[in-house]
Amino acid sequence: MANYRKIERILPPVPANWVGNGFKVHNFFPSGYRIHSMMSPFYLMDYNARIEFAPSDSPRGVDVHPHKGFETVTIAYHGKIAHADSAGNYGVIGEGGVQWMTAGSGLLHKEFHEESFQKEGGYFQMVQLWVNLPSKHKSVPPRYQDIGHEDKGIFTLEKDMGKCFVIAGEYKGVQGPAKTYSPIRMLDIRLKKGGKIEVPSNPHYNLGLLVLKGAIELNESENVPVDHFVLFKSTADNCDVLISAAEDAIVLYLEGEPIKEPLAQYGPFLMNTSEELEEAIREFQSGKYGHLE
Ligand code: MN
């Protein structure tokens, strides 16, 4: 039998909570499951499982709020999200699109359903990750990477049984477009029923994956249904992850080098010490993060 990476836990979605009035999310971590230290550099994962929104005349989303000390990565699978920030960036995350926003030294932003989508309604499914920044990069200037589905690296499986879209890092020599401040591999894996993909994981990196569509079999042993998250064990050996699609499936693969530093979090700020948190709150209250209508 192949040397497969061992699974720590297969986690069902915890009850959903609303973020503003636009995002009905299952917080897999850090609140839902206290696994964030085993998922570092990923600190938070909010998952809006596929739901249908009725047409609406009023905006749906989260109004102006600050962030500092990390990056928000938003991936849209269904529906469209419009956003704007106090660094002057704005845009629409379309289906399959990724917004990789570095809050860094601090900014304000807002996140809403895109207006025509809000008016027409329809299926909505998205993931937002908070990616921690190493202390030496916590105060980098804000940055915004708008990555369309067509911008991702593409590795096509044999017999066209699926595709591995590379958002960050690389897979079999195919590089993803996202620039990151610590080593991260983020893969949007889309398999046809019966398709298989083997991913060699780095034994020193943390690893988890989310099933967004269909169902998969992992490592020729464990079945994972839709909307479930898989946390893998830390390991000393090189090892592979084998994902087989029991039906047409979409999987988000998250791997990264852990940031082994103290953490201090309060609301939308993620720093290393409580002094830095207090400073972030003072900066926000004094208007240092700029202005956004
Ligand atoms: Mn936000």
Q: Which stretches in the chain have pLDDT values below 70?
A: 1
Rounded distance from Cα 199 to ligand 1 centre (Å)? 31
Ligand 1 centroid to residue 246 C-alpha, Å = 35
Going from the Cα of 35 to the center of ligand 1, the distance in angstroms, rounded, reads 21
How many C-beta neighbours within 10 Å does residue 41 have? 25
What's the 224 CA to ligand 1 centre distance in angstroms? Answer: 30
* Token representation of residue 72: 């928000």
Distance between CA 151 and CA 145 in Å, rounded?
A: 11
- Position 119 scores a pLDDT of 98
CA of 55 to the centre of ligand 1 (A): 24
CA gap 266, 21 in Å, rounded: 22
Burial class (CB in 10 A: 0-12, 13-18, 19+), 134: middle
Q: For domain 7-256, which architecture applies? A: Sandwich (2.60)
Q: What is the pTM of this model?
A: 0.97
Give the distance (Å) from ligand 1 centre to CA of residue 263. Answer: 19
**Domain coordinates in residue numbering, the chain:** 7-256
CA–centroid distance, residue 185 to ligand 1 (Å): 22
DSSP 222-287: EEE-TT-EEEEPP-SS-EEEEEEESSSEEEEEEEE----S--EEETTEEESSHHHHHHHHHHHHTT
Dist. CA 227 → ligand 1 center (Å)? 22
| pLDDT tens per residue across span 42-80 | 999 999 999 999 999 999 999 999 999 999 999 999 999
Q: What is the pLDDT of residues 112-158, one digit of tens each?
A: 999 999 999 999 999 999 999 999 999 999 999 999 999 999 999 99
Distance CA 96, CA 151 (A): 10
Å from CA of 101 to ligand 1 middle: 10
- DSSP tag of 150: G
Distance of CA 103 from the midpoint of ligand 1 (Å): 9
Q: Which pLDDT score, from 0 to 100, does residue 1 have?
A: 58
Contacts of 57 (CB under 8 A, 6+ apart): 119
| Residue 162 to residue 253: CA distance in whole angstroms | 15
Beta bridge partners of 264: 271
**Identity of the amino acid at 81:** I
* Ligand 1 mean position, distance from CA 109 (Å): 6
110 CA from centroid of ligand 1 (Å) = 6
pLDDT at 7: 95
